[in-house]
Amino acid sequence: MAAPPPPHEIIIVPAPGQPGREELRQQCYDVRIDVFHHEQGFPLDTEVDDLDDTATHFLLRLTPSLKPIGTIRCAKMDGYYKLSRLAVLKDYRKYRFGRALVQSLHDFVKVDAKTPGSRVSDTVKVACHSQIPVKGFYGK
Ligand SMILES: CC(C)(COP(=O)(O)OP(=O)(O)OC[C@H]1O[C@@H](n2cnc3c(N)ncnc32)[C@H](O)[C@@H]1OP(=O)(O)O)[C@@H](O)C(=O)NCCC(=O)NCCS
């Protein structure tokens, strides 16, 4: 049997303008840089893009240490939501944390799409920005 996951929590980084956003969003960036730049070799200067300012960021961290180990981002587009920048640090993979982050994003979307003024119809569409080798993960 696989080892149980270490104690953890997934938090939503405060919205733009709210206290704590910058520090927690930086922790999301640090995980992304570790995975996409250092591990996968993508350029550092494209890691943060113009969606990051308004996106909803999710941070996975260990408890009680609060060490950041994973992240995902949800951007509200015109009529749909875009999932991107999913990353879990190498040492913490295969604990179903990737799945938990996608589930947290889905839970958020279900609530957000119902808020008054949301430009999203009854059927909520989440588009996934994915690398080809990870297609199997998203399929599950
Ligand atoms: C992709 C990633 C987030 C998955 O995180 P993880 O915590 O290891 O994944 P999970 O344990 O939640 O996996 C859930 C399921 O998907 C499967 N899976 C995980 N990674 C997979 C992959 N690359 N290809 C196919 N299936 C995969 C798991 O086996 C598991 O299947 P199961 O439920 O039948 O046991 C992680 O590998 C990662 O950060 N990779 C590098 C960054 C990256 O590629 N991000 C995606 C960019 S589009």
The alpha carbon of 133 and the centre of ligand 1 are apart by a number of angstroms equal to 10
pLDDT at 111: 93
Give the span between the Cα atoms of 32 and 46, in whole angstroms: 11
pLDDT at 117: 72
Where b means 16+ CB within 10 Å and e means fewer, 18-52 reads eeeeeebbebbbebbbbbbeeeeeeeeeeeeeebb
Domain ranges of the chain: 8-139
- For the chain, list residues with pLDDT below 70: 1, 119-122
- H/E element, 89: none
How many angstroms separate the Cα of 57 from the Cα of each of 67, 96, 115, 117, 139? 16, 19, 18, 21, 22
pLDDT at 66: 98
User: Which pair of tokens denotes residue 131?
Assistant: 């690398």
Q: Is the CB of 103 within 6 Å of ligand 1?
A: no
Which superfamily does CATH assign the domain made up of 8-139 to? Gcn5-related N-acetyltransferase (GNAT) (3.40.630.30)
pLDDT at 116: 76
Q: Is the CB of 136 within 6 Å of ligand 1?
A: yes
Q: Is the CB of 139 within 6 Å of ligand 1?
A: no
| Contact between residue 92 and residue 70 where contact means Cβ atoms under 8 Å apart | yes
Apex CA 137: angle with CA 136 and CA 140, to 5°?
90
| Contact between residue 98 and residue 92 where contact means Cβ atoms under 8 Å apart | no
